A and B are shown apart, each in its own frame.
Chain A
Amino acid sequence: MAGLIGNIFLSGAFVASIAAMIGYALSASGYKNTDSKKIERISNWFWGFKGIFLLIASGILIHLLVTHQFQYFYVWNYTSLDLETQYLYSAFYGGQEGSFMLWIIFSFIVGLGLIRWTRKPYRAPVMFVMALTQVFLLSMVVGWDLIVAQIGASPFRTIAQEMPNAPFIQANPDFTPSDGTGLNDLLKSPWMMIHPPIIFVGFAMMTVPFAFAIASLWTRTYHDWIRPALPWTLAANLSLLTAIFLGGYWAYETLSFGGYCAWDPVENASLVPWLIGTAGIHAMIIQRKSSRAHKASIFLAILAYVGIVYQTFLTRSGVLAEQSVHSFVDLGLYGQLLLFILVMVALGIGSYLYRYRELPSPEKESKILSREFMTFTGSMLLLILGLVIILGTSSPIIGRFFVDNPTPPEIAFYNQWSMPIAIIMAIATVIGQHLFWKRYTWESLAGVLIVPLLLTSIATVLSIILGDVRNIGYMIFIFAAWFAVFGNGRVIFDLLKKRPKLIGGALNHVGFGVLLLGVIASSVYTEPLLDQRTASYNARVAQGEVFDEEGFPVTQPIEMFELDLNSPKLINERWMVTYEGYELSDSPRLGMQTYKIKFEPVNGGSPFYMKPEVYPMLTTSTRDNIEWSVDPHVRTGLFSDIYLYVAGSRYVEKENERVEQRNTMQPVAGNPETESRQSIEIKQGEMVTSGNFNFTFRNFVPASEESVPDNTQIGIRALIHVEHEATGRAFEVEPLFAVYTDDGRSYTYSPPLEIEEWDLEVTFTRVLPEDDSIELTVDGLDYEFEEDWILVVAEIKPFVSVVWLGTFLLMAGFSVSLLRHWAREKKAGEDYESKP
């Protein structure tokens, strides 16, 4: 029932956005006559209704999720009864349908801002474009089942609608599962709650420059649009940057991708629009300052949004399903997504070409040493980098021109292209920033750059020596990055004295330099942590001295090491590393092990612990097969991070064996005789190790009369402390030993005591007075005793902190520029309103 209402509201929102779109189009095409104002006001009402309907539908979906209505496919597919409340809410955007809805909601709010702040003549055409994108996005979730085609996939469809042919549905159409399949374990992370919304805020705001560019082409006013569009573009870029940062940090810290950037198609999906958006910002700034580059800024504003739609298409249509960790599933939206991208391209590029001849072009070419030329160069470099990445991600489509069945490009492809582009960019930023504020000739520019160049050279030489850099390409890269830091630093230094509010741009460019330094240090100079034996083995592999059993040279180094319980190993000649056992717990995840690994620096310094986790994935594990997932531990430091996870352990191996045995042994009834039994002789106060356990005989305890049989002559208990060596968990048991007489004969009575957690039975079988000890019999010890061990994969990554610092500087720079442009735009708005 609630689902039906939800569907009605979604359809209402869809229809309202179509009405708004038509209204805005009518109003825009006749904006000089008086009716258009009225039509526009009605369209605003439609826009508002659409938003209200959408919010109600979202509220219903959240209600269904929170109240566990598993007859709905979306609820069943993404949540379960044991899901924590905060993840029930974030499951709203855990699937494709919900994430579309979130995107639409943010676009709606952005639209309200546009209605409030945009001036004539742009308001109606801008809102038309906004409404058009809304129509497309809403069509993805509206779920209309027309006879010719299915439009969209509704989040409110029931399981019966999703799988009408499943036999259990045909037997019982009202079938409601008792529990859902649950949110993917990897998504149960606090990052999940903030990362997606910020991305969609960015996507929604990036629609604004696109809408303004179309509006400027429509109204043939090619200059003024950038004033209102620029703050929106800056804000969109700031949120995309924040989202990329959060996603990168999430990937680095909790998902074991092994790095903050893996050139994954979905990560590229937010990176490319950011790059193109930044290119657009450069072009807009030239246009604002010098009335040039109209063509470029309109083109890039269109391209940034087309980039978003294209990457949405790639990641959501199922084209990339095999290449990405973000496995979006094909919802049958391929056709609709294709139509979306085609219409956006046709509208954007089509109207651009249609008006191309009218677009203003500068009377004379810019000199090379002018701020226009340099800023434009920056813009083009960003665009080229964006295009290279698009090409790489599009390999399943474009690669078909080269080979059948194309694979994704090697990582080297991205690196080989992005490195030289970044080097040119870094140098261009310094020249560009200087020219931006003052005129220079080559001579005077060289004059002011002497100090930064000197500092750059010193820093580069130091980096090369300290970092033992051998590769000439990296040397140039490091030089360019330091140059960007010091050169732009000089600009900040100058500006702080005179106009501190204007440092946004220079701050960004310093941040860019810092980011490059961090990227090169942390990605190229990452080293695996290894014990000495593995390290010398790898050295021999590198020299081609190791051969396998068939006589072929081994080429692959080993990048992991093993630790036995409580036996320290020297790692990377820097730390004594000791595995001190693990703890089992059921919170926050069922069956989670937390391993305790101690690092003691060899040359002084305080020891620290790394505590990686391993847990069974609840959503995909079954009774017959446990799938384990690892949660790495990252120790963040100023100079380097240590990244470590447990790739295997005795516990995990035993659990797997147990499951496998249960699978294979089940038909044969268990044979208890194979169980191991061991006798332990132990003195008072002594500790004896047997199997995985330490037994300590503390003292004798008198047995109470109720617990012993009649006619007991001796009744005594022994207080035994049993400790599991690996986990340190301990129990105390008091097994009984009694001698009693019956019919004149003596019997012993010693019932076994069970320690349930370990399937262990302890029996006090004998007293040995001659050497002051007792005999215990223990059942359930592992027959083949094996020392507890873990397999560790760890890396040391230098200067990851610098990557984050660079990102923060970029965010700060964008924020400063955003505030400045926003304040100016607001003032312009007030001036406009105060005019009659």
Chain B
Amino acid sequence: MKPKLIIGIVSIVFFTSLLMYNFGNSISTYVNFIDAEDRPTAHVVGVWDDSQAYGFSRETMQFSFHMKDQDGNVRRVVYPRPKPNNFEQATQLVVIGEMRNNVFHANDMLMKCPSKYNDPSQLEQLSSAN
């Protein structure tokens, strides 16, 4: 084998493993609130618990609400930004941040909005109005 080819293969292997190592580190897994306590940052999936008070406070400049994760744990979440536009409509929330003293401090928040497709409820409203 030519030395150039060997260098090429070695560098490809090195490059690929470095890339995959880095990629593996930069993705994480979705957890619940209990497991989030042991992590510096966590992604938690859940739904908004609308039975408790929520809203943006102009004193603390934070939006706070309660979220129920997929295992049913409910925690307060604070988010240092205004309430996102489509918050109430979201069928699922993903909060990214850290858990401190039973309060989840979210740095980022993603909302999954209901698919209006294949959802006949809007049509039913229409047809009952007709």
Contact = CB atoms under 8 A, between A and B. Distances in A.
Interface of A: 77, 159, 162-163, 166-168, 172, 175, 177-179, 181, 321-322, 327, 329, 365, 384, 388, 391-392, 395, 398-399, 402-410, 412-413, 416-417, 550, 552, 555-560, 562, 617, 619-620, 625, 627-630, 647-648, 791, 793
A406 B126 CA distance: 40
B79 to A, nearest CB: 9
Contact of B61 (A327, A406, A560): A560
A133 to B, nearest CB: 27
A37 to B, nearest CB: 45
Interface in B91-112: 92, 94, 100-101, 103, 105, 107, 110, 112
Nearest to B122: A181
Given A329-B115, A407-B43, A627-B85, A412 B80 contact: no
Given A322-B112, A408-B27, A647 B82 contact: yes
Given A402-B24, A413-B22, A625-B89, A166 B29 contact: no
Interface string B57-91: 01001000000000000000000111101101100
21 contacts: A77-B116, A77-B117, A159-B123, A163-B118, A168-B123, A321-B112, A329-B115, A388-B19, A402-B23, A402-B24, A407-B28, A556-B105, A560-B82, A617-B86, A619-B116, A625-B88, A625-B89, A627-B85, A627-B86, A629-B85, A647-B81
B70 to A, nearest CB: 10
B54 interface: no
Given A407-B30, A562-B58, A329 B117 contact: yes
A425 B37 CA distance: 42
A49 B51 CA distance: 61
A392 B123 contact: no
A395 B115 contact: no
Interface in B1-25: 4, 15, 19, 22-24
A168 B124 contact: yes
B124 A166 contact: yes
B52 interface: no
A620 B89 contact: yes
A391 B23 contact: yes
A648 B58 CA distance: 10
B89 A406 contact: no
A395 B23 CA distance: 9
B34 interface: no
Given A162-B118, A168-B127, A627 B81 contact: no
A178 B123 contact: no
Contacts of B24: 402
Contacts of B29: 403-407
A410 B107 CA distance: 13
Contacts of A558: 61, 80
Nearest to B128: A168
Contacts of A409: 23, 26-27
A143 to B, nearest CB: 16
A628 to B, nearest CB: 6
A159 B107 CA distance: 42
Contacts of B82: 560, 647-648, 791, 793
A301 to B, nearest CB: 21
A327 B129 CA distance: 30
A403 B42 CA distance: 14
Contacts of B129: 178
Given A399-B27, A403-B27, A559 B81 contact: yes
Contacts of A168: 120, 123-124, 127-128
User: Which applies to chain B's interface (DSSP): helix, strand, loop or mixed?
Assistant: mixed
A413 to B, nearest CB: 4
Contacts of A412: 26
B10 to A, nearest CB: 16
Contacts of A77: 116-117
A628 B85 contact: yes
Q: Which of A168, A175, A398, A557 has the most CB of B within 10 A?
A: A168
A402 B27 contact: yes
B30 A405 contact: yes
B127 A177 contact: yes
Contact of B23 (A365, A413, A629): A413
B69 to A, nearest CB: 13
A472 to B, nearest CB: 20
Q: Which of A177, A384, A556, A629 has the most CB of B within 10 A?
A: A556
Contact of B105 (A322, A329, A555, A620): A555
Nearest to B120: A166
Contacts of A410: 26-27
B113 A177 contact: no
Contact of A178 (B19, B83, B115, B130): B130
B85 A630 contact: yes
Contacts of B30: 405, 407
A148 to B, nearest CB: 22
Q: 8 tightest CB-CB pairs across the interface, nearest first?
A: A647-B82, A413-B26, A403-B29, A168-B127, A409-B26, A556-B80, A166-B120, A402-B24
Contacts of A167: 124
B89 A175 contact: no
Given A177-B127, A178-B126, A625-B88, A552 B27 contact: no
A793 B124 CA distance: 39
Given A403-B27, A558-B61, A620-B86, A417 B81 contact: no
Contacts of A556: 80, 105, 107
Contacts of B124: 166-168
A178 B125 CA distance: 11
Given A557-B80, A560-B82, A620-B89, A407 B27 contact: yes
Contacts of A399: 23, 27
A392 B85 contact: no
A406 B27 contact: yes
B123 A177 contact: yes
B19 A552 contact: no
A102 B118 CA distance: 24
Nearest to B31: A405
A389 to B, nearest CB: 11
Contact of A648 (B4, B19, B56, B122): B56
Given A552-B101, A620-B116, A177 B28 contact: no
A116 B22 CA distance: 49
Contact of B19 (A166, A391, A550): A391
B127 A627 contact: no
Contacts of B122: 181
